[in-house]
Amino acid sequence: MTDTTTVTKDERISNVSFVTNIMRRPEFGALLGAIVIYVMFAVVDTTGQFTTLQGTAGWTDFASPIGIIAVFVALLMIAGEFDLSSGVMVGTSGLLLGILVSEFGWGIWPAIAFTLVFAAGIGLMNGLLVIKTGLPSFIVTLATFFVLKGANLAITKGFTGSVRVSNIDQGAGFEDARKIFATTFDLGGAQFQITVVWWIVVTILATWLLTKTTFGNWIFASGGDANAARNAGVPVRRTKVTLFVMTSVAAALVGIMLALRLNGMQAGQGVGQEFYYIIAAAVGGTLLTGGSGSAIGASIGAAIMGLAAIGIPFALWDQDWVSTFLGVILFSAVLVNSFISRKAKGARK
């Protein structure tokens, strides 16, 4: 028996240094990558704007709508599920809001409330279909994606005769709603989008949810080993369904923000964006097989996308290469992440 009265040091356990502890965090690789990319774009910047507040307002504007959704996509991925309908959901909710206001004459606030409830319903449907059929969420939400994509186009055309819904500003309460969802605020002379505040708040909330609450513990367990979790008494199904709802509502929130900002919505809005969220989550250290990851990581992943989207034109590079750049980043980030986590965990497993 080991002596338990005096806390003797176990000679088999080497000291874990502060650095190793930081390296163990799933978002470490993304943070490192973000810093490298930031410095790189700062160096090649031809406008002298990239590192200013103006430049910051630019890339955060691009990153924040992605970040708000990517954070919840990351939580869902940690729980072991995908939502490929999260991109098209942005379009669906914006269009729904627009049609309710411009075609049915609803006020903005009831239309927003209805849109959020509708999105929650779609999320609930996604979740229940995954749980009840036992089919992979990749397939179920891919189907939802295409169903919604078609419906967006057909229903929009049916109502407006075009592929765009507009005139949302005729709804009562439009200006008030914009103050919350689609305004800008001044910071040192630069105009920042209000979505940036939402992004930061959502990231903090999701991080707190994941690391400090019971529900967060269940998220990790559901994705890490659903059987073990169930044996320990974790409501795995409820956890997953709740996360599908949250992801869908986050997408609707972004759709509402966009619709109010643009005073309209294109029927094809959001399509293809779902991969941005998954890329942001994966770059941020979320394991594609579930069980590990972080909300901050997904936000850093979204920030990297913003940096690339603004940094590339600022460097006067051909903007057509943005996706290629993101592809390379995705691959290297996941490679580096898996390398770091293996190093940090030591040789075992």
Partner 1 sequence: MTTPALELVNVTKSFGNVTALNNVSLKVEPGTVTCVLGDNGAGKSTLIKVLAGVHKPSSGEFLVEGEHADFASPRDALHRGIATVFQDLATVALMSIWRNFFLGNEPKKWWKPLGIMDTKLAKEITKKELLAMGIDLRDTNQAIGTLSGGERQAVAIARAVHFGAKVLILDEPTSALGVRQSGIVLKYVLAARDRGVAVVFITHNPHHAFLVGDRFYLLNRGRMIGDYQRGKVELDELITAMAGGAELEQLTHEIQVIRK
Say how far apart CA 324 and CA 167 lie, in whole Å. 36
**Rule CB under 8 A: is residue 2 a binding residue for partner 1?**
yes
> Which of 72, 118, 220, 277 contacts partner 1 by CB under 8 A?
220
Residues whose CB is less than 8 angstroms from the CB of residue 307 and which lie 6 or more positions away in sequence, other chains included? 34, 37, 38, 41, 59, 63
For residue 191, give the 3-state DSSP assignment: strand
Under the criterion CB under 8 A, does residue 107 sit at the interface with partner 1?
no
202 or 287: CB nearest partner 1: 287
Of 220 and 276, which CB lies nearer to partner 1 in the complex structure? 220
Is 107 in a helix, a strand, or coil? coil
Binding to partner 1 by residue 10, rule CB under 8 A?
yes
Q: Does 1 bind partner 1 (CB under 8 A)?
A: yes
Q: Binding to partner 1 by residue 345, rule CB under 8 A?
A: yes
Question: What is the smallest separation between the CB atom of 325 and partner 1, expressed in angstroms?
Answer: 31
Coil, strand or helix at 192: strand
What are the phi and psi torsion angles at 80 (to 5°)? 90, 15
The 3-state DSSP class for residue 166 equals: strand
Compute the least distance from the CB of residue 116 to partner 1, in Å: 22
Is 49 an interacting residue with respect to partner 1 (CB under 8 A)? no
Residue nearer to partner 1 on the CB measure, 12 or 320: 12
Q: Decide: is 224 part of the binding site for partner 1 (CB under 8 A).
A: yes
For residue 16, state whether it binds partner 1 (rule: CB under 8 A).
yes
Please tell me the distance from the alpha carbon of residue 327 to that of residue 320, in angstroms, as a whole number. 13
Report the distance separating Cα 65 and Cα 198, nearest Å: 9
List strand residue ranges (DSSP E) for 44-160, in order.
none
- Exactly one of 292, 313, 322, 336 binds partner 1 (CB under 8 A); that residue is 292
Applying CB under 8 A, does 221 fall inside the site for partner 1?
A: yes
Output the CA angle 279-285-288, nearest 5 degrees. Answer: 65
**Identified binder of partner 1 from the candidate list 291, 297, 306, 311, rule CB under 8 A:** 291
CB of 348 to partner 1, least distance (A): 5
Residue 4 as a binder of partner 1 (CB under 8 A): the answer is: yes
Residues 187-216 that bind partner 1 (CB under 8 A): 212-216
Nearer residue to partner 1 within complex by CB, 191 or 217:
217
Binding partner 1 (rule: CB under 8 A), the pick from 6, 9, 161, 320 is 9
Pairing relationship of beta strands 264-266 and 190-193 according to DSSP bridges: unpaired
Out of 43, 134, 318, 348, point to the residue binding partner 1 (CB under 8 A): 348
Task: DSSP for 332-345, please give it.
Answer: HHHHHHHHHHHHHH
Q: How many residues bind partner 1 (CB under 8 A)?
A: 32
Question: Which of residues 6, 19, 134, 227 is near partner 1 by CB under 8 A?
Answer: 227
Question: Whole-number minimum distance, CB 207 to partner 1, in Å?
Answer: 13
Task: Out of 48, 134, 161, 233, name the contact with partner 1 by CB under 8 A.
Answer: 233
Helix/strand/coil for 318: coil
The H or E element spanning position 186 is strand 184-187
Distance, C-alpha 234 to centroid of its chain? 25
The answer to whether 77 and 278 have CB atoms below 8 angstroms apart is yes
Q: What angle do CA 168, 171, 174 make, to 5 degrees?
A: 80
Cα gap 229→146, rounded to integer Å: 33
User: Closest CB to partner 1 among 179 and 212?
Assistant: 212
Least distance from partner 1 to the Cβ atom of residue 16, Å:
7
Distance CA 55, CA 281 (A): 24
Tell me the one-letter amino acid at 317.
Answer: W
Instruction: Kindly tell me which residue out of 217, 238, 268, 322 binds partner 1, with binding defined by CB under 8 A.
Output: 217
Residues forming the site for partner 1 (CB under 8 A): 1-2, 4, 9-10, 13, 16, 212-217, 220-221, 224-225, 227-234, 287, 291-292, 345-346, 348-349
